[in-house]
Amino acid sequence: MNFPNPLIPGFNPDPSVVKVGEDYYLATSTFEYLPGIPVYHSTDLVNWDRIGHVVDREGQLDSRDVPTLGGAWAPTIRFHDGLFYVAVTDAMARGTLVFTAEDPAGPWSDGLAIEGAIGIDQDLAWDEDGTAYMTYSGLDTVTGNIGEHGGILQVRVDLETGKALEVPRSVWSGTGLMFPEAPHLYRHGDYWYLMIAEGGTERGHSVSIARGTSPAGPFEGNPANPILSARSTERPIQNTGHGDLVQTPDGGWAMVLLGMRPKGMTRAFSALGRETFITPVTWEDGWPVVEPVILNPRLGGGEFEDNLRTPSSTAAGSPCGDSLARSPPPRRTPGASPWSATAPAWTIHGLPSWAAASGTRWRPSPRWWTPDRPRTWTLDGGRNAGGLAVRYDEAHHYSIELSGTTLTARARISSIEESWTRQVPAGPLELRIATRQPDSGAGFGHLSSDTIALQAVVDGELLTLAELDGRYLSAETAASFTGRVSGVFASRGTVTFDWFRGEGREPQ
């Protein structure tokens, strides 16, 4: 099959996929952002629509006080005996959870906490008699022992009571590379296969596999391990790993996985974060053989537009699109909305600064997958203050804010903060955040992933307050393994705005 790559672009890491009849369902990580754990649907493994979220209400995750990199880590989506399951880590909060639904579009259950299985990247598999096996990576994000790693662990679990039925046992943990994680257990032919990621989710990321005659092992490693890695290659897609196997519509096999597209002269910075990719798989001598992940972007660009006046505003051109008017507020607060609609505009009420630490409520856009195009919105600040921002985490974000007649661009990079101000005429103002790739060539000016401009349209002319290096909003610099998110915010009082628009295209 001629797969597009990326399959689901932008901030969509840790993909897991399941085939049910002729339908495919895929879920990815969302960390602190809510609604959480999107579920995508496809009938051909090529075209995907987001049909809902596993987490869409208060209490399913305990994310109010976690940092950006906490929350929903690495969901595994599976189907068994008429029911859909998502096993996931609520990192730094509830721990190991299992959600269930009869319809993958939702509603999903409140989430069953599993006692006796502390770790991350939980997988579920069932043997012939219906016994459920949970296999996971032994990294403790709950009790404070995050510096220790127990390898790949496994327990039989009771999915009615949420209890492990045995003491966790160590199973095959790879070839000896660091951070064995992302286990998935499959029955294929005469064997059970245990596939894991190892080497860390950075440039050394890889996929390895073992097999045995029982779901509990013992497992024999593939002599050809790792079966997939881009490390030390010139491939444009790096960090390939965290894979999940699935049968294709034509009877073949494929692996969905995460990868990154580093940019700049030294290919050192990944503005788009960890994305979902796909690659063909064949079976030889009882082992899967995985093809290198080939960059094959979809044609055209993507657009998101919401005039915020009707619930029918739609997103187009991107599988990550969504309407601001239809979604609950996604940052830690799936409950009461800070938004209200009074035609012909929307308002956001009395919220603290978007960049504050825990408890902040602001309204991000979808997880934008393409640089090189602006995000714009029109704002009437009055005596209040609000604006447009792009953030990676609490300590890495850029914003442009209107307060009365004062326009301020701000940048925070770890402990360093800077701002630029201009006076502008009173009244509504269009704000923009635009990104562009560096020009091709050599020299220090081409080292970064992109440039981010903080702008406003004043009296019909485009005013740029600051142009900032995009490398500081990337995983390689910020260290949080999430992705960029852009959105509107209110930092004082009630802010009214009319529309939000974003455009993008695949980077060159």
From the list 14, 56, 123, 305, the catalytic residue is 14
Contacts of the segment 35-42: beta carbons below 8 A, 24+ positions apart: 35/327, 35/328, 35/330, 35/334, 36/60, 36/61, 36/63, 36/71, 36/72, 37/72, 37/75, 37/86, 37/88, 37/99, 38/12, 39/77, 39/104, 39/105, 39/106, 40/8, 40/319, 41/104, 41/105
Question: CATH topology of 16-290 equal to that of 301-505?
Answer: no
Query: Which residues lie closer than 8 Å to 285 by C-beta, 6 or more apart?
Result: none
CATH of 16-290, one of 2.115.10.20, 3.30.360.10, 2.130.10.10, 2.60.40.10: 2.115.10.20
Q: Do 121 and 150 form a contact (C-beta atoms < 8 A)?
A: no
Q: Three-class SS string for 266-281? A: CCCECCCCCEEEEEEE
- Mention the CATH class of domain 301-505: mainly beta
From the list 56, 62, 121, 181, the catalytic residue is 181
- Diameter over CA atoms, the chain: 74
- SS3 state of residue 446: helix
What tens-digit pLDDT sequence spans the chain (508 residues)? Answer: 689 999 998 889 999 999 999 999 999 999 988 889 999 999 999 999 999 999 999 889 987 788 888 889 999 999 999 999 999 999 988 999 999 999 999 999 999 999 999 999 999 999 999 999 999 999 888 877 766 788 999 999 999 999 999 999 999 999 999 999 999 999 999 999 999 999 999 999 999 999 999 999 999 999 999 999 999 999 999 999 999 999 999 999 999 999 999 988 888 999 888 999 999 999 999 999 999 999 999 887 666 665 544 433 332 223 333 332 223 334 554 443 444 433 344 455 444 333 333 233 333 333 333 333 444 445 555 567 888 888 888 899 999 998 888 999 999 999 999 999 999 998 778 889 998 887 666 566 678 889 999 999 999 999 999 999 999 999 899 988 888 888 777 777 777 766 667 777 776 6
Q: Which tokens hold the place of 310? A: 């009707």
The DSSP result for 108-157, as a single string, is: --S-EEPBT---EEEEEEE-TT--EEEEEEEE-SSSS-TT-EEEEEEEEE
pTM for the whole structure: 0.89
Query: Which residues lie closer than 8 Å to 145 by C-beta, 6 or more apart?
Result: none
Note if 115 is an active site residue: no
The DSSP result for 479-506, as a single string, is: --SS--EEEEEEEESEEEEEEEEEEEE-
Q: In this structure, which amino acid lies at residue 171?
A: V
Element (H, E) at 376: strand 375-380
Burial 176-196 (b: 16+ CB within 10 A, else e): ebebbbbbbbbeeeebbbbbb
> For residue 395, what is the DSSP state?
T
Pairing state between β 95-101 and 112-113: antiparallel
CA distance 337 to 340: 8
Q: Do 438 and 467 form a contact (C-beta atoms < 8 A)?
A: no
Q: Please report, for the chain, the start and end positions of each structural domain, with discontinuous segments joined by +.
A: 16-290, 301-505
Note if 181 is an active site residue: yes
